[in-house]
Structure 1
Amino acid sequence: MSTGTRTGTRTTTGGTRGTGGKGGGRAGAILSGLAVALGSVLFLGGFVWGAILYRPYTVPTGSMTPTVDTGDHILAQRIDGSEVRRGDIVVFDDALWGDVPMVKRVVAVGGDKVACCDKQGRLTVNGKPIDEPYLLDPRAPASPTGFSATVPKDNLFMMGDNRATSEDSRVRLTDADDGSVPRSAVNARADAIAWPSGRMGMLQRSSAFAGLSGDGPSAPGPLKAVVAAAVGGAALIFCGAAYGPLARVAGRRRTAR
């Protein structure tokens, strides 16, 4: 009787362990499935969100060096021209500028008087000198040739950061709009360099024009949140999918013991 009692106790204890293990396995499988499902929503949602808000462009010339260079692949947020501020790097289409999208920096908006150069070689907007650290050569004059223009209402005066080679609003000053571009021609605002990998990263918003009256620099777009959603979703999918194989390996090790 004594032996039978001990044997029954062992059998009962073993059954309890087995039940707990199965319960834990089911809970883990549920959590794994939830992780994969949530990860899929974030991953796909991030891509859809990004596709709606952003467009990829390839920079055709070196006129914006060093900020963006020839052949750089950039991501630009789709915006309306009314959202553009001084200092923004924008993508626009204008028949007078050619048959491909152009990438330039906005240095003046409708109503501004833009001129170059003051005694220190700086660009001035409404008489205020602008320090432009983003230029290819910040120590050189802001423009090799002097100019002055008043920007018509609802237009934008564009310049490249490589002032020595950029063909921009300065060379079109004889146009009816003093070389400026209608706000309606703007398609997007550059947010980041996506390729090559060595130049990959967010483009910094310029504060060079912050001291002027009117709207300040544009706020960064939601690209970081878009990327975070996609990367976070991918991580959840990977972790959730990896749970099953890892749990089976752990189970075999426990059985072997």
Structure 2
Amino acid sequence: MSTTATRRQATARSAARHSPGSVLSSVAVALGSVLFAGAFVWAALLYRPYAVPTDSMAPTIAAGERVLAERVDGDAVRRGDVVVFEDPTWGDLPMVKRVIGVGGDTVACCDADGRLTVNGTPVPEPYLSGSGPASGTGFTAQVPKGSLFLLGDSRWNSVDSRNHLAGDTQGAVPRSAVRARVDATAWPLEQAGLIQRPAGFAQLPGGVSEPGPLPLQLAAVAVGALLILGGAAYGPVARRAGRGQRR
């Protein structure tokens, strides 16, 4: 091969590397890598996986499922949230229950239609398992300030605040016992999905908590992956197109 031909090939390769398409490809791969890795790091800092060993939260969370729970302070928790907490009177192990009442609330069950009430307001609970009243046993509890009244979604077999009504705590646990708020089920994959904030509690003072950042993090991972794949695919596609033009 002549020196002139070699120089022409080197010039062509250099031009290809500095073409607008090549530059955009490199930028896409770099940006995609930042989004992809950054979203994973962000999620790892905010979320923690937990395994749920019982079906006391069925059908929302079945026994054996793994959930992703956002690390939050107990003061950020509101009615309707599904939380992970630890309390010595409950066994001092991580447990998952739904917040039904907060400090100052009067929680009672059941009204004439079998519904749970908070401060006299009936609360629809479409997430409960089975039909019938919201609790198999009637109860009334005054939630102490700085505490949370917790129930499982499977009211017929859940050990929760109803089993600890005796004493000054009225079955509630302090907000400081909260470790995280559950935002999604992650495993098994066919059951994976976000856990929605129940609309039934939105009518009460304080409303419900804002959704966590998990959907945004998942979107960043998906966009990052697409940018990486698209940018990486540009080179082979461009080379094939160049060969076709030369032929």
Tell me the TM-score normalized by structure 2.
Answer: 0.91
Q: What is the distance in 2 between the residues matched to 1:171 and 1:241?
A: 58
**Alignment deviations for residues 196-255 of structure 1 (CA, whole Å, 9 cap, x no partner):** 11111111110112222x210111011111111111111111111121122222222222
1:198 is aligned to 2:203: no
> In the TM superposition, what is the alpha-carbon distance from 1:176 to its structure 2 partner?
3.2
Query: Paired residue for 1:95?
Result: 88
> In the TM superposition, what is the alpha-carbon distance from 1:56 to its structure 2 partner?
1.1
1:34 is aligned to 2:24: no
Percent sequence identity is 58
Query: Paired residue for 1:121?
Result: 114
1:73 is aligned to 2:73: no
1:173 is aligned to 2:165: yes
Q: What is the distance in 2 between the residues matched to 1:210 and 1:41?
A: 37
Query: Paired residue for 1:221?
Result: 212
In structure 1, which of residues 220, 239, 242 is the aligned counterpart of residue 230 of structure 2? 239
Q: What is the distance in 2 between the residues matched to 1:99 and 1:87?
A: 22
**Alignment deviations for residues 177-207 of structure 1 (CA, whole Å, 9 cap, x no partner):** 1110100111111111111111111111101
1:148 is aligned to 2:140: yes
> In the TM superposition, what is the alpha-carbon distance from 1:100 to its structure 2 partner?
2.5
> In the TM superposition, what is the alpha-carbon distance from 1:22 to its structure 2 partner?
6.2
> In the TM superposition, what is the alpha-carbon distance from 1:99 to its structure 2 partner?
3.8
1:61 is aligned to 2:54: yes
**Alignment deviations for residues 111-144 of structure 1 (CA, whole Å, 9 cap, x no partner):** 111111111111111111111111002x311110
Q: What is the distance in 2 between the residues matched to 1:179 and 1:37?
A: 53
In 2 relative to 1, CA 126–247 (structure 1 residues): closer, same or farther, beyond 3 Å? same
- The worse-fitting range, judged by mean Cα deviation, of 160-169 and 214-223 is 214-223
> In the TM superposition, what is the alpha-carbon distance from 1:19 to its structure 2 partner?
7.6
> In the TM superposition, what is the alpha-carbon distance from 1:21 to its structure 2 partner?
8.9
Q: What is the distance in 2 between the residues matched to 1:69 and 1:175?
A: 31
Query: Paired residue for 1:253?
Result: 244
SS in structure 2 of the partner of residue 205 of structure 1: coil
Q: What is the distance in 2 between the residues matched to 1:224 and 1:122?
A: 32
SS in structure 2 of the partner of residue 62 of structure 1: coil
Q: What is the distance in 2 between the residues matched to 1:127 and 1:239?
A: 57
Q: What is the distance in 2 between the residues matched to 1:56 and 1:222?
A: 15
Q: Would you say how many aligned residue pairs link Structure 1 and Structure 2?
A: 238
Q: Which residue type is aligned with residue 162 of structure 1?
A: S
**Structure 2 unaligned runs (5+)?**
1-7
1:82 is aligned to 2:75: yes
Two-structure CA RMSD over aligned residues (Å): 1.8
Q: Which residue type is aligned with residue 76 of structure 2?
A: E
SS in structure 1 of the partner of residue 150 of structure 2: strand
**Alignment deviations for residues 82-123 of structure 1 (CA, whole Å, 9 cap, x no partner):** 011111111111122124211100000001111111111111
**Structure 1 unaligned runs (5+)?**
1-14
> In the TM superposition, what is the alpha-carbon distance from 1:20 to its structure 2 partner?
8.6
Q: What is the distance in 1 between the residues matched to 2:44 and 2:17?
A: 39
Q: What is the distance in 1 between the residues matched to 2:92 and 2:101?
A: 24
Q: Which residue type is aligned with residue 88 of structure 1?
A: D
Q: What is the distance in 1 between the residues matched to 2:166 and 2:77?
A: 24
> In the TM superposition, what is the alpha-carbon distance from 1:58 to its structure 2 partner?
1.1
> In the TM superposition, what is the alpha-carbon distance from 1:29 to its structure 2 partner?
2.0
